[in-house]
A and B are shown apart, each in its own frame.
Chain A
């Protein structure tokens, strides 16, 4: 089953006066695992429904393999949907739910059986074939809806927050299963979620949406490592966002920024700036290293060094989250991964005096205000 490419071209959508999708354009490659990521209410479901044909557009176009599908009704589009609440038919057994699209296509009974059995095996629900949806757990329902949506051999599978109703552990398992399934069926998956960890863990490409606008498109690495703006920096992963003034242009690549919160720091110059511009800098907490002794240049660190006191310690087993109060009273988040046996080290405790340092490349500009 080869999948299709999907192009969303300058789509606008209104509900009454409410502008839900604002000039949205996206290129989704054939057979890729694509994620649409954004907070609740930003228009993800609406965009998915437009692709499925359950909602009209007010402007723009939707192409499947370079051909417009906007004038096709939902039942004629080679696209199937996993609905947020699974939308299983309550009066039909698992077997009949999966057979539903096949019966509409008037396949012979033996062909239907062959295909349903294959799909039941694919989602490992053979023993539950005769059960009604009300007798299934959340994870099982999700797998039935997956098998049912794949029965038609669609070219694109749309998944609307398929795991958000499940508990955390099951969610992880199903994500891995979904990833395997994608490899097996090899069609295009468009996956909608508000959970950034899900999106960046399984996607080939991610589009981040905010209030009906696509704010960033890229690979998971790109959106995580170089968030396009404050919203993305905050929404994907965690970060320290700091406002300061550019005091010196050091080179093409580096600038010195003076923060009222903790003095002068060297930052990466990923946007054109001049001296005196105000910049918003982001710094991921896991990129900051923490130690008791002031690092010296012989430690091989060209980076920024900040002094502070441990204000809060949250031990999580695989990592510890520290909240460090700088001399100027600013709180900086620092996450230390535990890569070796912890008790061998001198453990950093509450109220300890510590030094933080990081590579200037890891503190970079997300927004510029010209002064």
Chain B
């Protein structure tokens, strides 16, 4: 066998290995019975999901609230950070680059534990608000990096050109830097949203009793056995994600 063929086969197997479980989930969400073998096509789990699973939708709503709000705040802060790094001196850039880079390598579990300790020390009651803070915290390095990557595609001289042509600093910011950064800002928003929607580990530590998110809910349901309703909601989530990434493919290159 030629080495070219071997690598091709390995690649195909790896991709299959990645997609197979996902395909299984989709297929079994349409299964007519609870059993792990195919008994016929049915939409009963979807029906159940939409009619008698209010608790799932509440957690889904929680996830959306946290996802949207934390992404907005994270993108605003990340963009401001990226702009100050972009405009800052070389030294500042180096320091900021390192301090932003380190969080990528810190395990989620450590971020989760330290945030929990932080909140309990300050006597903050665990709630959706603490989840929101946690999500802003862990997604900000990503949003900042994504916006910075976009800005670095352009030489700083465009800002000097704006000054030269009569713009004040704030006009240059509004009319040049932010519009130029916009594709990065959009990419950063969806990255932050995606990170927030499916975060389990960190959320697990900082969630309160009445602030369950969808991933926490799914996990707790799985502990009592896999309900095909979970397959149904997973399939819908998957659909949403695919739809989003297709719609956003022109921004994808700014996502690391």
On chain B, the residues within 8 Å of A85 by CB distance are 155, 157
Give the CA-CA distance A91 to B154 in the complex, in Å. 11
Give the CA-CA distance A54 to B163 in the complex, in Å. 9
On chain A, the residues within 8 Å of B182 by CB distance are 91
> Considering only CB atoms, which chain B residue lies closest to A160 in the complex?
B157
Is B180 touching A105 in the complex (CB atoms < 8 A)?
A: no
Is B180 touching A91 in the complex (CB atoms < 8 A)?
A: yes
Interface residues of B in 175-227 (CB under 8 A from A): 175-176, 179-180, 182
On chain A, the residues within 8 Å of B109 by CB distance are none
Is A148 touching B160 in the complex (CB atoms < 8 A)?
A: no
Which stretch, B23-31, B64-72, B130-138, B164-172, touches the partner chain A?
B164-172
Does A319 reach chain B (CB closer than 8 Å)? no
> Considering only CB atoms, which chain B residue lies closest to A148 in the complex?
B165
Is A73 touching B158 in the complex (CB atoms < 8 A)?
A: no
> Considering only CB atoms, which chain A residue lies closest to B183 in the complex?
A91
- Tell me the minimal C-beta distance from A89 to chain B in angstroms: 6
> Considering only CB atoms, which chain B residue lies closest to A79 in the complex?
B164
Does A101 reach chain B (CB closer than 8 Å)? yes
Give the CA-CA distance A101 to B165 in the complex, in Å. 5
Does B161 reach chain A (CB closer than 8 Å)? yes
- Tell me the minimal C-beta distance from A47 to chain B in angstroms: 15
Is A89 touching B166 in the complex (CB atoms < 8 A)?
A: no
On chain B, the residues within 8 Å of A149 by CB distance are 164-165
The number of residues on chain A lying at the interface, defined by a beta carbon within 8 Å of a beta carbon of chain B, is 25
- Tell me the minimal C-beta distance from B123 to chain A in angstroms: 47
- Which residue from B164, B168, B175 sits with its C-beta under 8 Å from A81? B164
- Tell me the minimal C-beta distance from A146 to chain B in angstroms: 13
Give the CA-CA distance A74 to B166 in the complex, in Å. 7
> Considering only CB atoms, which chain A residue lies closest to B159 in the complex?
A87
- Tell me the minimal C-beta distance from A213 to chain B in angstroms: 26
Known: A75-B166, A89-B180, A104-B166. A81 touches B171 (CB 8 A): no
A-B contacts, 22 of them at CB < 8 A, read: A54-B164, A74-B164, A75-B166, A79-B164, A80-B164, A81-B160, A81-B161, A83-B160, A84-B157, A87-B158, A88-B158, A89-B161, A89-B162, A89-B176, A90-B180, A91-B176, A91-B182, A101-B166, A104-B165, A104-B167, A151-B165, A152-B166
Instruction: List residues of B whose CB falls within 8 A of some A CB.
Output: 154-155, 157-158, 160-168, 171, 175-176, 179-180, 182
Instruction: List residues of A whose CB falls within 8 A of some B CB.
Output: 52-54, 73-75, 79-81, 83-85, 87-91, 100-101, 104-105, 148-149, 151-152
